[in-house]
Amino acid sequence: MRFLNRLRLSHFSPTMPLFAAGLVVLFCPSFSFADELPKESVMPLAMASKAAQAAIEACKKDGYRVSASVVDRAGVLRTMGRADGAGSHTVESSRKKAYTAASLRRATTELAELIGKVPTLQSLREMNDEILILGGGLPIEIGGDVVGGIGVGGAPGAHLDDACAQAGLDAVGAAPKVPPVK
């Protein structure tokens, strides 16, 4: 009996109870650190593609050859399409408009107008090289969350780029960002 007691005690160190308590905390579901992580909505690729294609088709119907880009909430490109015959410059302009709308959470036309009214906001243009404050970029808001941005470039006027971008939002059920034409 003494031997068994000695054997049991010799296998346990003074830190064993602390180690056991640590294991309980790590593996006990009520102490899950994952519960503290923020939850955020992610725009699926299929939805991004549908929005870009709808924007391109809306412009095509009106006779405009454009590019449309969709980015996620962080401004990373999800998808991009360029209509047959669209200018090469439309690729980057659509992506930058989408980035600007997603990162600043506002329509790029609204930002351009705001800068016109408040000249001290000109520095918004210089935040980084990806910002393009020119109409045609809209944030994609679904269920109250901005999940990305869409940018259209190539129509002969910012209001026309906006209208095509809005068609992309409409195609995926996103909150409208451009007032309907009267």
Q: What secondary structure does DSSP assign to 127-156, as a single string?
A: S-TT---SSSEEEEEETTEEEEEEEEE-SS
Residue pair 154/135 in contact by the 8 Å Cβ criterion = no
Instruction: Report the candidate in 124, 106, 128 with the shortest Cα–Cα distance to residue 116.
Output: 124
CATH superfamily of domain region 45-171: Haem-degrading domain (3.30.450.150)
Please report, in tens digits, the pLDDT of each residue of the chain (182 residues total).
555 555 555 555 556 555 555 555 555 555 566 678 888 889 999 999 999 999 999 999 999 999 999 999 999 999 999 999 999 999 999 999 999 999 999 999 999 999 999 988 888 888 899 999 999 999 999 999 999 999 999 999 999 999 999 999 999 999 999 866 54
Q: What is the CA radius of gyration of the chain?
A: 26
Q: Render pLDDT for 155-173 as a digit per residue (tens, 0 to 9).
A: 999 999 999 999 999 999 9
Question: Domain ranges in the chain?
Answer: 2-36, 45-171
Rounded to whole angstroms, the Cα distance separating 43 from 142 reads 9
Q: Render pLDDT for 52-78 as a digit per residue (tens, 0 to 9).
A: 999 999 999 999 999 999 999 999 999
